[in-house]
Structure formats: structure tokens, C-alpha cells
Structure 1
Amino acid sequence: MLLENKTAVIYGGGGSIGGAVAGAFAAEGARVFLAGRTPAKLDAVADRIRAAGGQAETAVVDALDASAVDDHIDAVVEKSGGVDISINLITQEGIFQPLADIATAGFVEAIGKALTTQLITTKAAARHMVKQESGVLLFFGGSDAANTSPGLGNVQVGMDAVESLRRQWAVELAPHGIRTVTLLTGGIVDTFPDIPEMDAAKQSIIDSSPLKRAATMADVGSVAAFVASEQGRSITSTQVNISFGACNG
């Protein structure tokens, strides 16, 4: 197993992508700690993992509350002896409009929340990983320098901001043996609502790939598990492109 005896914390662990990543980690032997704000969603993911023979625990945590995040990660470390992997999969509040049409306050607030939760959760994990002199910090979304899609509003801007944060963490944490990697996705179509209004957006993601394919939740989970494992030990301070070539970050 790729992640046997590893401890992973997944913020947003009750979401669709969070659940997929948690399931992949657990299937590879990791003990996963799911954090989020909705107990029913967290429990549903944990139940699936346990039914498949994996180890999962849940906690209601507001990832915008630094004290709550610190208390949770301290409890995880006390219980498991350390933290090997941390990933924040809390979705940014997307405003899909032309920039000229977006209210300034809403634009700034959404990106501010995205950066705040990423900073809080990464600081909490890094505090313990520095003591261990090891660990993997995964980020999700990534920066696409070749973006040519109008109407993305604050979404790509927010992902670019988080990627800039990840790059700075990489510089500061590498001397402590901590790896930082972003999963560059280009859009995960099986997370989109199954409604006619989303068909064009799904097809656009598929059409932008040279292979005419789009990454799935299962793809995200399997790549995340590999990158976080010892087999991915040479991958750090970079983005891993899992967009089937749709992105050119």
C-alpha cells in the first residue's frame, strides 16, 4: 500500500472531491481524519471508507477558525503520533461573471476567505511537520497561465492567489523536508450539477483537452495518493497537471 501507516487530514472531507481523496488515501492504507462543517456529509464519507476496510475519523471544524483548526490538528497528532499529509479541499465561493459585472466587495470577500482557510490549515499542519522534519502539503486547483476562458470571474484569480501562497510555503518549508504540491485540474466534470445548464461548461472542459477527456474525482484521488506517497518523493515545489492537457500552468 502506498500510504500504509500514514496519517492524513482532509479539510472539506465531506465534499465530493474531499470524499474521493479520502477514499483513495484510505484504500492505500492511510488513517484519514475528515474535517468539515456538516456532520452528515462527513459521516457518509467515513462510513463508506470503513465499509471498505479503511480507517476514518470525523470532526466538525470551521476551517476559517484558526483556534478550532489548531485544536483539531493537535488532537490528531496526539492520537496518531504525527501528521503526514494535509490537504484543504474547501471550495472557493465562485462568482462566474465577467469581472466588470462583479461587485468589488463580493470579489474580495470570496478570495479572502479562500486564502484565509488555506493559510490557517497549512500553518496548523506545518507546525507539526516542521517538528517531524517531514510531511506533504497538497493544494487543489492550480494556476493556468494559458487561460483563455472568459466569464470565470473570481475563480481562476482565486486559484492563482492560492498557488502563489503554495509557492511561498514551498520556499519556507523545503529546508524542513516538507513537500508542497498542487493538483492542477482544469475542472472536474463529475462534480458539476447534472442539469442542462451545465452541459456547455462540461463540454468546454472536455474540448480543451488534446485527448478530449476530463479528469474525474477518481483521477484526483489516485494522483493525490501517488504524489503523497514515498513513490512521489521527488515531486515538490510544483504543480502536477491532471487536466488531460487542458491546462498549461
Structure 2
Amino acid sequence: MLLENKTAVIYGGGGAIGGAMARAFTAEGARVFLAGRTPGKLDAVAADIRRAGGLAETAIVDALDETAVNGWVDSIAAQTGSVDISVNVISQDALFVPLLDMPVADFGHAMDKVARSFLLTAQAAARHMVKQGSGVILHFGGSGPANSTPGLGTVQIGFDLVEAMRRQWACELGPHSVRVVSMRTGGIPETLPDLPETVPYKQKMIDATLLQRATTLDDVGRVAAFLASGQARSITSTQVNISGGALVD
């Protein structure tokens, strides 16, 4: 198995993306620790993993609380002996407002949440990964098309901020054999609710691909498991494009 005896921490582990990664990691032999703010969602993912024979634990952790994040990761390292994979897929406080009309304070708050959560979670994992001389920090989102879409407000800016941090983290952690990688898609129709008004958006995601099939949650999980494994040991400081051709490199 790709991730046998590995320990993975996932912030946003109760969500669709985090849950998909958690299931794929445990299917490949990892033990996962899921963090989030909604106990019911975390417990549902953990129960699903346990039914399949995997190992999963949950915790309520605020990814903006430095003491909470460091304490949680330190406790995992003490329990398992290592922190091998760290994933942050918590949602942004997205503001779908044109920048011309964006209140400065609201913009600052949105960017602060993105920057602080990704800095804190990466720091907490990196301290242990540097000591053990190995590890993978995985981000999700990546940069968008060459020309941004009007009306996205802070969404793509937030993703680009994470990408800038990813490049810097990869540069600093590379000498310690710690890899930092991003995944990006052209959208995942499964993550949208099944409502009449969402049907056009789902079809738009499919039509934008070259393969005429949008990325699925199963695709996300499988690729994430590969990237977190030794099979991808030469991949760092880059984005992995699983958009089916919707996003051109």
C-alpha cells in the first residue's frame, strides 16, 4: 500500500474534499486525524472509514488558533511517532464582490483567515517533519485560468495567496526532504447541491474540460494519495493539474 504506517492530519476533514482524501489515504494504509468545526460531519467521515477497516480519529480544532493547532499536532506526533502528511482544505470566507466595491476591512479579514490558517497548519506540521527528515504538505485549489473570472471576489486571490506560500514553503523545506504540493481542478460537480439552479454550472464544468468529464471526488482522493506517497518523491514546489484539461498549464 502507498501510505502504509503513515500519519495524516487533515483540516476540513469533514468536508467533501477532506473526506475524499481521508478515505483514499486510509485505503492506502494511512492513519488519519480529522480536524474541523462540525462534529457531525467529522464523525460521519470517520465512521465511514472505520466501516471500511481504516483508522480515523477526530478533533474540534480552530485552524486560526495557534495554541490549539500546535497542541493537536504535537499530541498526534507523541501518539504515533510522526506527522507524515498535512492537508488544509478548510473553506475560505469567500466574498463574491467586485474589487472596486470591496470594503477594505472585509477584504483584509478574508485574506487574514487564509494566510493565518495556512501558515499555522503548515508550521505545526513542518516542525515535526523537519526533525524526522520527511513529510508532505498538500494544498488544494491552485491558480485559476490565465484570465480570472469576473465576480469571484476574494476566491481566486485567496488561492493565489496559498500558492505563493506553497512556493516559499517548498524552498525552505526542500533541504529537509519535506515536499509541498498543490492540486487544482476546474471544479468538482459532486460538491454542488443537486438543485435546478446548479445544473448549468455543473454542465459548464464538464463542457470546459478536454476529456468531457469533470474531476470527481474519487479522482481527488486517488491523486492526493499518490502525491503523499513515496511514489511521488520527486514532486515538490508545483501544482498538479487534475482538471481534465479545463485549466491549461
TM category (shorter chain) comes to over 0.9
1:164 aligns with 2:149: no
CA-to-aligned-CA distance 1:44-71 (integer Å, 9 cap, x gap): 1100000000000111111110100000
Q: Which residue of 1 aligns with 2:215?
A: 215
How far apart are residue 98 of structure 1 and its match?
2.9
CA-to-aligned-CA distance 1:129-149 (integer Å, 9 cap, x gap): 000110000000001251342
C-alpha distance in 1 between matches for 2:94 and 2:136: 27
Tell me whether 197-206 or 60-69 shows the greater mean CA deviation: 197-206
Q: Which residue of 1 aligns with 2:195?
A: 195
C-alpha distance in 1 between matches for 2:193 and 2:84: 33
Number of residue pairs the alignment of both structures matches: 249
**Amino acid of the structure 1 residue aligned with 2:21:** V
C-alpha distance in 2 between matches for 1:4 and 1:165: 29
Q: Which residue of 2 aligns with 1:186?
A: 186
How far apart are residue 105 of structure 1 and its match?
2.2
Q: Which residue of 2 aligns with 1:153?
A: 153
How far apart are residue 218 of structure 1 and its match?
1.1
1:40 aligns with 2:70: no
- When residues 164 and 145 of structure 1 are mapped into structure 2, their CA distance, relative to the original with a 3 A threshold, is farther
Mapped contact 1:7–1:80 kept (Cα < 8 A) = yes
How far apart are residue 206 of structure 1 and its match?
1.8
- When residues 185 and 88 of structure 1 are mapped into structure 2, their CA distance, relative to the original with a 3 A threshold, is same
C-alpha distance in 1 between matches for 2:210 and 2:122: 34
**Amino acid of the structure 2 residue aligned with 1:106:** D
Mapped contact 1:141–1:186 kept (Cα < 8 A) = no
How far apart are residue 186 of structure 1 and its match?
2.2
1:83 aligns with 2:83: yes
**Amino acid of the structure 2 residue aligned with 1:195:** L
C-alpha distance in 2 between matches for 1:111 and 1:197: 29
Mapped contact 1:144–1:248 kept (Cα < 8 A) = no
Q: Which residue of 1 aligns with 2:50?
A: 50
Q: Percent identity?
A: 63
**Amino acid of the structure 2 residue aligned with 1:72:** W
**Amino acid of the structure 1 residue aligned with 2:50:** R
1:247 aligns with 2:232: no
C-alpha distance in 1 between matches for 2:139 and 2:170: 11
Q: Which residue of 2 aligns with 1:10?
A: 10
**Amino acid of the structure 2 residue aligned with 1:24:** A
Mapped contact 2:148–2:156 kept (Cα < 8 A) = no
**Amino acid of the structure 2 residue aligned with 1:140:** F
Mapped contact 2:14–2:35 kept (Cα < 8 A) = yes
How far apart are residue 107 of structure 1 and its match?
2.3
TM-score normalised by length of structure 2: 0.96
- When residues 181 and 207 of structure 1 are mapped into structure 2, their CA distance, relative to the original with a 3 A threshold, is same
1:133 aligns with 2:106: no
C-alpha distance in 2 between matches for 1:151 and 1:206: 21
CA-to-aligned-CA distance 1:34-93 (integer Å, 9 cap, x gap): 011111111111000000000001111111101000000000001100110000010112
> Which residues of structure 2 form unaligned runs of 5+?
none
**Amino acid of the structure 2 residue aligned with 1:206:** I
1:69 aligns with 2:56: no
CA-to-aligned-CA distance 1:138-184 (integer Å, 9 cap, x gap): 00000125134222111111100110010000000000000010001
Mapped contact 1:13–1:36 kept (Cα < 8 A) = yes
Mapped contact 1:23–1:49 kept (Cα < 8 A) = yes
**Could you say what secondary structure the match of 2:171 adopts?**
helix
Mapped contact 1:21–1:225 kept (Cα < 8 A) = yes
